[in-house]
Amino acid sequence: MNFTTNHYKKGKIFPCMFLVFLLIFPVTVSSQLQISQGVTFRELNQDDGPWAIQALEINRNTPGITLEAVLGGSYILGIEPLNSIIERLTSPNRHILAGINGDFYILKADPFQGDPIGLCVVDGEMVSSPVKRSVFVILKDGSLVIDRFSMLAEVKSADGVTCPLSGINQHCPDNKIVLLTSAFNSTNRPQENATLLLAGPLPEPLKSEGKYTFSAIEKHPGDSVLPIPPQRIALVGRGSGADFLNNIDDNESIECSINLDPSPGTIQHAVGGGPRLLRNGEISIEAEQEGISQSFVDTRHPRTALGYNDDSIFLVTVDGRQEGYSAGMSLPELAALLKKLGAKEAINMDGGGSTTMWVTGTVRNRPSDGMVRPIANGILLYSADGQK
């Protein structure tokens, strides 16, 4: 895998890390499976909760394996169960070893159902813009980052007038402009009192940071239903945002600039979540900074989390809402678990009925819905060239 990190210097590998964890966090290991070179899956039980825990540990120096973000249904608005995503993406040359669910998303029946809350980057393409919540990021050079980002973006017309760009592939708020790409869905979602401007070309996937020049093609009422072809974008504006778009003529040049603050470098994959659980090896539950309620922190729920240190990445799920089997964890309990596993940095992902851990052909946890819930995105562990 050869992931690096911009948080720590390279350290020693501790093969007894899990033994240390057992000594300070007494659990029963109900099963242990070496699913590939450098990748171990363990099912853990502890009576105190009670807790049923599923933990995947990945040696970061293992060659030939990669951790990647994926979208449900191939689109932003394409929720799909994790096991279905994996079945769809499995190929003879890319064997999927494991996966977990990813970001929070619009769950209710809604025209924008499936929209992930935070930043999502898949194979270098930004398909969802950030909110002020923590994001797990894999940079192009293999570095790992957990951070909060703001998007600084604007649209500039040929006469130099600018308007802020508030989001990528999402609902357009009042008096704002959003940018839709073909990753959004096969068509836009109609919005009243809006203007839609089709423009292009977009010769390469949209990056999380960059400057793009488009030519206006045609305008439509925002309540129209239109396809978003590959290599095209749609700008949707409401209120003052619609006024800005209505002043742009066909064939007029438009410039869009996109930047993240802070700038992390070139992002290859990113999945949002929140809040952060660990920072520099210490428990740091940053819910207030991320606009997350204290009740969400304190109440036990099924949980999904991701953590890492210099040597390992940990994908963890904890079942919940199942009396006598597993109660779920509060975020302090989850952070303590990740710390004791050995993580130095960690983030909470979407939990509840979304919590899913898939390993070598099987969903290994017990989802609290009694079924595998469709999700917006996930994180998969691949082995190249079909090597198991």
> What are the tens digits of pLDDT across the range 31-49?
899 999 999 999 999 988 9
* Complete edge-to-edge strand list for the sheet that includes strand 233-238: 162-164, 150-156, 253-261, 210-221, 194-200, 233-238, 177-180, 167-168
Confidence (pLDDT) at 9: 29
Please identify every stretch of the chain with a pLDDT value under 70, giving residue numbers as ranges: 1-26, 385-388
- Tokens found for residue 211: 């400057």
Answer whether 352's CB lies under 8 Å from 302's CB. Answer: yes
The residues spanned by each domain of the chain are 1-147+372-388, 150-261
**Coil, strand or helix at 85:** helix
Q: How far apart are CA 60 and CA 312, in angstroms?
A: 5
To the nearest 10°, report the CA torsion of 333, 335, 341, 343. Answer: 180
Torsion angle in degrees (nearest 10) through CA of 258, 108, 293, 102: -60
Task: Classify each residue of 122-157 as buried b or exposed e, where b means 16 or more C-beta atoms within 10 Å of its C-beta.
Answer: beebbbbbbbebbbbbbbeeebbbbbbbebebebbb
Cα 350 from Cα 247, distance rounded (Å): 41
Strands (E) across 201-275 are located at 210-221, 233-238, 253-261, 267-272
Among residues 99, 157, 149, 94, the alpha carbon closest in space to that of 121 is found at 149
Question: In a 10 Å sphere around its CB, with 0-12 CB exposed, 13-18 middle and 19+ buried, how is residue 260 labelled?
Answer: buried
pLDDT of residue 7: 37
The per-residue pLDDT for 14 is 38
Q: What is the pLDDT of residue 93?
A: 85
Tell the CATH topology of 150-261: Jelly Rolls (2.60.120)
Rounded Cα distance between 214 and 211, Å, is: 10
pTM: 0.92
pLDDT, residue 4, reads: 53
Task: State which H helix or E strand residue 306 sits in.
Answer: strand 303-308
Q: Which two tokens stand for residue 323?
A: 């009396």
